[in-house]
């Protein structure tokens, strides 16, 4: 498993020379600002109240802590570029560790696909005059997943063209709404800041962590990077800071222009509701369109990259060989379908909070595993143990807080998440016992 192919579409937008900080930041920002902010803003407001902007900032800090280990490992092992292979190196005599991590990453992508499809359906049904309609949301969510399955089965070139068309509009609209919205904020609406308690800020920060998934794409481009030891860490931290600033600004505008009950009532399409007092009905429509662009882009790129990850794991014997079979156009068709089907099921069966919690917890666990790999390989990576332990403490704390929140407020969601992990571990164990001996090396 060498490189997540999602960054290749970004590479054709720059010159054929080596990548600098600006290009790497563009890759990471494009990966992070997918459907996350559109789907989690209402959840952040529901949990953290007026402190929702701080919750988004907490998520950025945790992402930055995780980014340290990704950067160190990518520089030490530039040909790897995947959490799965980092764990293989860190635990060479325990292949099950890397295999389970690989399956966890795949689970995380299933969750994000479900989250993006859920969000697409929510915003699209709102634009079409059916806000809050489960039938419309589900139907449109299934339609968008199906459409991008067809696009990805058609081939790499078609997926890249569609990505180019939809990736830019979302950024311009978000920046416009945020900039104009700042002038509409009523400071009195932000008080008291900690109306839900200080702990709620960290719980919300954990729940929205999935909105920062995507900065890891920079590690896949390390071999094409100019002066990577200087450029890669800078790009990771700068991209997280840029995205964090966008998220915090939008959350600040949200809680500064609308009441918390108004945001919670429109939880599934909160950002569109935020835009109405800022820009009127035009703003509502613009944000709805941006959400559809963003989630479409995210579904396309995630389905593209995750299916290649599944195929590469199949090639190394960590998943069934059938998932690695490619068409004449080099498309891993089985892997594409294998990602789309469970994502559609989760989107159908899960609530927004369940899907967000599942995705965020999964990527927090994977990031923690990567940090452990960095600790074990620190003689090769040159990592500062104190910084890694700081990151692990942050991730561990947010995971514990998130679990505690689910225990207190949504036990069925926690049971569902645990069941998902249990099924994945059982499948991995069953396959590991049956697969050829080369899969365990």
Give the bridge partners for 19, in sequence order: 225
Residue 441 lies in a domain: no
**In the chain, which stretches have pLDDT less than 70?**
1-17, 80-81, 155-169, 171, 434-441
pLDDT at 97: 85
The confidence score (pLDDT) of residue 155 equals: 64
Question: How do residues 286-306 score in pLDDT, each as one tens digit?
Answer: 888 888 888 887 888 788 878
User: Which CATH number covers residue 288?
Assistant: 1.20.1740.10
- 440 inside domain: no
What pLDDT is attached to residue 313? Answer: 81
Q: Rounded CA gap, 103 and 122, in Å?
A: 29
Residue 284: inside a domain, yes or no?
A: yes
3-state percent breakdown (helix, strand, coil) of the chain, nearest 5: 85, 0, 15
Q: How high is the mean pLDDT of the chain?
A: 84
Residue 220 lies in a domain: yes
Which tokens belong to 3? 């490189």
- Residue 6 CA: distances (Å) to CA of 51, 58, 216, 246, 406: 34, 27, 11, 23, 33
What's the first-to-final CA gap in the chain, in angstroms?
A: 13
Q: Judge whether 75 lies within some domain.
A: yes
Structural domain range at position 255 = 5-435
Length of the chain counted residue by residue: 441
In 3-state terms, what secondary structure has residue 19? Answer: strand
DSSP 3-state of 196: coil
Number of domains in the chain: 1
The 3-state DSSP class for residue 329 equals coil
Tokens encoding 410 = 């949504």
Radius of gyration from C-alpha coordinates of the chain = 20
CA dist 301 and 43 (Å) reads 24
φ/ψ of 321, rounded to 5, equals -60, -30
Is 105 a member of any domain?
yes
* 8 A C-beta contact, residue 90 and residue 372: yes
Task: Tokens 């078609």: give the residue.
Answer: 158
- Quote the CA–CA distance of 250 and 177 in Å, as a whole number: 8
Is residue 356 situated within a structural domain?
yes
The pTM (predicted TM-score) of the whole model is 0.83
> Are 88 and 291 in contact, with CB atoms under 8 Å apart?
no
Cα–Cα distance for residue pair 299/339, rounded to 1 Å: 11
């Amino acid at each position: 498993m060498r490189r997540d192919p999602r960054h290749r579409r970004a590479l054709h937008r720059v010159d054929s020379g080596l990548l600098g900080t600006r290009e790497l930041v563009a890759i990471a920002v494009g990966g992070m600002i997918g459907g996350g902010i559109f789907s989690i803003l209402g959840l952040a407001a529901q949990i953290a109240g007026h402190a929702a902007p701080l919750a988004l900032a907490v998520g950025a800090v945790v992402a930055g802590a995780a980014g340290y280990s990704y950067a160190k490992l990518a520089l030490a092992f530039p040909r790897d570029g995947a959490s799965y292979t980092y764990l293989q190196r860190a635990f060479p005599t325990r292949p099950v560790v890397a295999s389970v991590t690989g399956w966890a990453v795949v689970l995380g992508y299933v969750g994000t696909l479900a989250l993006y499809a859920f969000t697409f359906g929510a915003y699209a049904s709102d634009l079409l005059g059916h806000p809050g309609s489960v039938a419309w949301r589900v139907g449109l969510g299934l339609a968008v997943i199906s459409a991008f399955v067809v696009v990805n089965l058609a081939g790499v070139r078609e997926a890249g063209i569609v990505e180019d068309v939809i990736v830019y509009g979302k950024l311009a609209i978000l920046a416009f709404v945020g900039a104009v919205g700042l002038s509409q904020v009523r400071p009195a609406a932000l008080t008291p800041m900690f109306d839900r308690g200080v702990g709620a800020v960290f719980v919300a920060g954990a729940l929205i962590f999935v909105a920062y998934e995507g900065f890891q794409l920079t590690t896949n481009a390390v071999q094409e990077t100019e002066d990577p030891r200087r450029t890669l860490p800078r790009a990771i931290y700068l991209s997280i800071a840029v995205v964090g600033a966008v998220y915090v600004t939008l959350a600040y505008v949200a809680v500064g222009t609308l009441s918390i009950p108004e945001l919670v009532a429109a939880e599934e399409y909160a950002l569109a509701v935020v835009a109405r007092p800022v820009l009127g009905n035009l703003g509502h429509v613009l944000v709805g369109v941006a959400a559809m662009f963003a989630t479409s882009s995210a579904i396309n790129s995630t389905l593209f990259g995750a299916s290649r990850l599944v195929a590469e794991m199949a090639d190394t014997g960590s998943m069934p060989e059938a998932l690695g079979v490619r068409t004449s156009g080099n498309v891993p068709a089985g892997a594409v379908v294998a990602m789309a089907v469970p994502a559609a099921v989760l989107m159908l069966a899960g609530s927004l909070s369940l899907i967000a919690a599942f995705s965020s917890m999964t990527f927090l666990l994977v990031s923690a595993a990567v940090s452990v790999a960095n600790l074990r390989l620190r003689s090769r990576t040159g990592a500062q143990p104190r910084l890694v332990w700081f990151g692990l403490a942050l991730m561990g704390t947010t995971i514990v807080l998130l679990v505690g929140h689910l225990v207190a407020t949504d036990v069925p969601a926690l049971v569902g998440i645990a069941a998902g992990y249990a099924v994945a571990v059982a499948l991995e164990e069953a396959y590991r016992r049956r697969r050829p001996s080369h899969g365990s090396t």
